[in-house]
Amino acid sequence: MIKKPEKNDSRRVVITGLGVISSLGIGWQDFWKNLLAGKSGISKIESFDTSGYDRHYGGEVKNFDPSKFISKRKLPYMGRASQMAIAASKLALKDAALDLKSLSEEKIGICLGTTMGESQILEELNKDFIFNRMNKIDPSQITIYPANIISSNIAKEIGAGADNYVFSTACASGNYSIGYACDLIRFDANKRILCGGVDALSGIAFTGFCRLLSMAPEKCQPFDKNRKGMMLGEGAGILVLESLRNAKKRKANIYAEILGYGLSNDVESMTSPSPYGISKATERALRESKVDKLQVNYINMHGTGTLENDRAECLGLKKVFGNNLKKIPVSSIKSMLSHTLGASSALETIATSLMIKNGKVLPTINFEIKDPEIDIDCVPNRYREHKINIALNNSLAFGGNTACLVLKKY
């Protein structure tokens, strides 16, 4: 990891804009309102046929109209992930009160995380191959499949000409992109970065998680004794990051400050998280942020609702916080939102910054029976008033990729 310079207003990184496309709302306002109400964004999947599966529910975005954000002429030349990412980016820029026409395009960068990229394009090409329709394939479809095309489409649409990166570290991709965006700003305080994550609902991913027997039938119950697995979803979460100096200069609304991040790769298992990897990422994040573990008073856990993930995450955090862990409010918004893969940790960072700003801890819904192996305060079923000064946002991923962000009230 790059060594950070000493912190001052030009090196401190703050969140000044939020953009959300999710099954719980378009725009952060509806997203936040529905999270506070403990609503579920889970519904029957309609975008593809699930009759051949034993699972039929997910966090599908039902009311997204891309033509409200992108010219209809351009829509055939980009996949759903690009459409959602562009929409969330425009919402974030509007929320940050940034007019790109008045800014130098070289100072607007993009860091994006995704797990599946434009997998829906690949699925359609696969169907054409299976059903001998190869002669009907539009060759241009091949060019809009690679994952890097998503950030490229954002840049073209908003006129960004600076840094442009895509991270694909599975379900930790969003946090990776946010962490790297912080590094870019700390070494060039004039930059503003659009960062976060996106994934569209994917038949490939749906099939994979069903085959892994990790999908719940109808609801996600993180930390509950009788939890039955995760729910797959889709969405985009984009944040505007900039130096505190720039934010203060233009009197921007500041949601929270990002103090630092920690990464680890435990390489123990392709699919099961390791408590060791979780503890290492958390310890590194706290050390880089110069935060004592006793200062942490909220944790947004990865909390997928699978037996192994929730158990391993709790064990990993106990290695760091010991018995004090049970005194720290934690929650998993995947109980409401579903698991949005590369978008998940970005949407959770947005939710965490709103919790910090508003002094409220979001609930873990569908919680019924306490698991004696998971001795935590998961804020069951209803939100709680709670002043948050220092928060962690954890993300775990296949391949042992783990990332932890440290956020602070400004």
Distance of CA 295 to the CA centre of its chain: 24
Q: Does residue 281 have a pLDDT over 90?
A: yes
Burial class from Cβ neighbours inside 10 Å (0-12, 13-18, 19+) for residue 139 reads: exposed
Write down the pLDDT at residue 267: 73
Write down the pLDDT at residue 337: 97
What's the mean pLDDT in 224-244? Answer: 97
Q: pLDDT confidence of 3, banded at 50, 70, 90?
A: very low
Report residue 140 as tokens: 């241009």
Concerning whether 302 is annotated as a catalytic residue, the answer is yes
Q: pLDDT confidence of 398, banded at 50, 70, 90?
A: confident
Amino acid (one-letter) located at 307: L
Q: Does residue 119 have a pLDDT over 80?
A: no
Q: What residue spans in the chain does CATH classification 3.40.47.10 cover?
A: 13-249, 259-408
Write down the pLDDT at residue 104: 65
What's the mean pLDDT in 383-409? Answer: 95
Q: From the candidates 171, 195, 220, 314, which is the catalytic residue?
A: 171
Query: What is the spatial distance between Cα 151 and Cα 78, in angstroms, rounded to a whole number?
Result: 11
pLDDT in tens, 321-334: 999 999 999 999 99
Q: Does residue 288 have a pLDDT over 90?
A: yes
Q: Does residue 134 have a pLDDT over 70?
A: no
Write down the pLDDT at residue 191: 87
Write down the pLDDT at residue 77: 86
Nearest to 405 by CA among 293, 315, 281, 317: 281
- Using the structure block, give the residue that is written with the tokens 């990422």: 281
pLDDT in tens, 72-94: 999 988 999 999 999 999 999 99
Write down the pLDDT at residue 6: 45
Write down the pLDDT at residue 73: 93
Q: Does residue 380 have a pLDDT over 90?
A: yes
What's the mean pLDDT in 362-374? Answer: 96
Please indicate whether residue 229 or residue 104 has the higher confidence score (pLDDT): 229
CATH superfamily ID and name for 13-249 = Thiolase/Chalcone synthase (3.40.47.10)
Q: Does residue 172 have a pLDDT over 60?
A: yes
Query: What is the spatial distance between Cα 336 and Cα 338, in angstroms, rounded to a whole number?
Result: 6
- Domain formed by 259-408, architecture: 3-Layer(aba) Sandwich (3.40)
Concerning whether 339 is annotated as a catalytic residue, the answer is yes
Q: Does residue 2 have a pLDDT over 50?
A: no
Query: What is the spatial distance between Cα 147 and Cα 382, in angstroms, rounded to a whole number?
Result: 37
Residue 50, classed as helix, strand or coil, is coil
Nearest to 224 by CA among 317, 322, 298, 332: 332
Q: pLDDT confidence of 273, banded at 50, 70, 90?
A: confident
Write down the pLDDT at residue 5: 44
Q: From the candidates 111, 302, 314, 378, which is the catalytic residue?
A: 302
Report residue 401 as tokens: 């990729």
Query: What is the spatial distance between Cα 76 and Cα 14, in angstroms, rounded to a whole number?
Result: 36
Q: From the candidates 111, 195, 314, 339, which is the catalytic residue?
A: 339
Report residue 242 as tokens: 């900039």
Q: Helical H runs in 72-220?
A: 80-95, 119-130, 140-143, 148-158, 173-186, 203-211
Degrees, nearest 5: CA angle 48-54-57: 55
What's the mean pLDDT in 203-222? Answer: 94
Query: What is the spatial distance between Cα 368 and Cα 359, in angstroms, rounded to a whole number?
Result: 25
Query: What is the spatial distance between Cα 408 and Cα 86, in angstroms, rounded to a whole number?
Result: 28
The whole-chain average pLDDT of the chain stands at: 92
